[in-house]
Every structure is written in C-alpha cells, then in structure tokens.
Amino acid sequence: MRGWKPAPHVLLLLPAFIVLAAVVIVPLLLSLYSSFTPFRLTRPDSIYTFIGFRNYERLFSDWDFWVAFGRTVLLLTFALNLEMVLGLVLALLVEKATRGQRILRTIMMFPMMFSPILVGFQFKFMFNDNIGVVNNALQSLGLTDQAIPWLIDGRLAFISILTAEIWSSTAVFAIFILAGLMAMPREPLEAAKVDGCTPWQSFRYVTWPFVMPFAYIAMTIRSLDIARAYDIVKIMTDGGPAGRTEILWTLIARTAYSDARMGLANAMSYIAILLSILFTVIFFRQLAKARQQIGAEW
C-alpha cells in the first residue's frame, strides 16, 4: 500500500498555514485560555490556575470597565456620524468639480497616509494650552482672552480626540461615497429632474439610496478601527485627565502592562472583540437591506 502524499496545492500552502498558526492562532488560543486564569506578569506560574469565568463575572460589576465601554461606544457613534456627514459633503463637492478632480481626490486622501501616532502628536501639539495653534488662533482673533485647557478638561479632551479621529478618517467615507457617486447612472437623476423634483428631493430619493451601500461599507471599516482605537488616545491624553478619556483599549493596556493583570486584560479584550463583531453584523445587515432596496428600485 502506497503511503499518503499530500496534494501539491496543500504542500504550497503549508508554509503559510504554519506561519498563520504560529503568529495568529496559537497566541489567540493562549490569550483565550489566559482569560480564564488569574495570570499576572509578575507571577508567571499563575497561568496554570484555572478559575473559569471569574474574570468575566468580575467585569460585569466593574464600574471603570463599563464607563470605558460606554465611552468607546460614544466615541464610535459621534465619529461615525460626523465622518459620514463630512465625507458626504466632500464627495459631493469633488464630484461636482469640473477641473482638477484627480488632484482633489489625491489631496482628500492625504490624512489617511499619516500614522495614528503621528496624528496623535500633531493634535496634541495643536491643542496644547500654552503653545498650541488652536489657542493662539482663538486669542489672535479675539474669541477668547485666556488659554483653553483642551487636554486638561475632561469634556474638551474628548472633543479634541474626536476631532483628531474625524480629521484622520473622514476621507474613508469620502472615497467610498465618491466611488458610489461616480458609479451611479445618470438616467434616474435626469428622470427626476424632468418630473420636477427639487435638488434636495433628487438627492434624498435617488442619490442617497444608491450611495448608501458604499457608506455602510465605510461604516463597517471605521467601526472596527474606532472600536479598537488606542494610538491617538494614548498619545494625546493617555486616558486622562483622571480617566475622563479612558476607552476600552487604553484600559486594557493599563490593566495588562501597568497593573500586570494579563488574565483580566484578556477577558476585557474578548468582550471588546464581541463589540466589534456586533457592530460589523449590524452594518452588514444594513448593507444587505440597502442592496435589496437598490435591486428592487433600480
């Protein structure tokens, strides 16, 4: 009896599977297991103590965790809606441009090319209460006579982080919506114009339903980015002042590395992953509905 020989395509894919298992699957399973242990970085042997769902039960009564969870959802909600509105405006303006449209599309993509760490440092300097560009501009225009503590006051710090997120990622919505506008056939718009529709009615009932699936794709991508936001918040405020801008992933990093409670931090991480999956499912369902609507109407 001849020995079993794997198929050529299996042999070709085997190195990729090994790397994937070593880099992704094994660490993922190890972190999942450690979330059921009291694992501390200062006590490596604690990873062998299985405590079941005790870490997860503890998080259900952890006020700091749920505050960070709610703040993450709040950041996600505000950022997504404002980015979509601004991205829609940018896409409409670029789509209406008769000259230099390629240059405008390139300029529109510039913020996406910057690292989130660089964006964090940039906006941290801009919102500095002593030498920041924002305060200097406001004082030069006579809008205020004293420095505004953008990164010291809790609410203002949250607004500053939100501004940085919007500046760096509005282009994602603009690019997807612009792609939808450029792919949209002109016949329905011309028919709406012949029927006497106003520009707002044409946009509301013709243009927006067509580009909505593109907006949902952008929402899916951005929801995953914001749900695991860390770099900008870490650089600008590090969760401060007094935890007023603490979000899930800054809390997870603080729990894992500052407090050395890796098991509890991994439990937080898996709850954060479930949040990301939830938003992804919601947006994909909305995307499917929008596609069905377009298929029925167009």
Q: What is the pLDDT of residues 239-251, one digit of tens each?
A: 888 888 999 889 9
Q: What is the DSSP string of 17-45?
A: HHHHIIIIIHHHHHHHHHTTTT-BTTBGG
Q: 85: which 2 tokens?
A: 């509105």
Residues 235 and 117 sit within 8 Å (Cβ to Cβ): yes
Rounded percentage of the chain residues whose pLDDT exceeds 70? 96
Lowest mean pLDDT among 70-79, 229-238, 280-289: 280-289
Q: What is the mean predicted confidence (pLDDT) over 141-159? A: 88
pLDDT, one tens digit per residue, over 166-210 is: 999 899 999 999 988 888 888 888 888 888 888 888 888 888 888
Q: How confident is the model at residue 296 (pLDDT cuts 50, 70, 90)?
A: low
Q: Measuring CA to CA, which residue among 65, 60, 57 is closest to residue 36?
A: 57
Q: Whole-prediction pTM value?
A: 0.86
Instruction: Give the pLDDT score at 205.
Output: 85
Rounded to the nearest 5°, which phi and psi values hold at 43?
A: -135, 80
Instruction: Give the pLDDT score at 280.
Output: 77
Query: Alpha-carbon distance 228 to 269, whole Å?
Result: 9
DSSP, collapsed to helix, strand or coil, labels residue 144 as: coil
Q: How far from the centroid of its chain's Cα atoms is residue 20's Cα?
A: 25
Query: Alpha-carbon distance 93 to 27, whole Å?
Result: 46
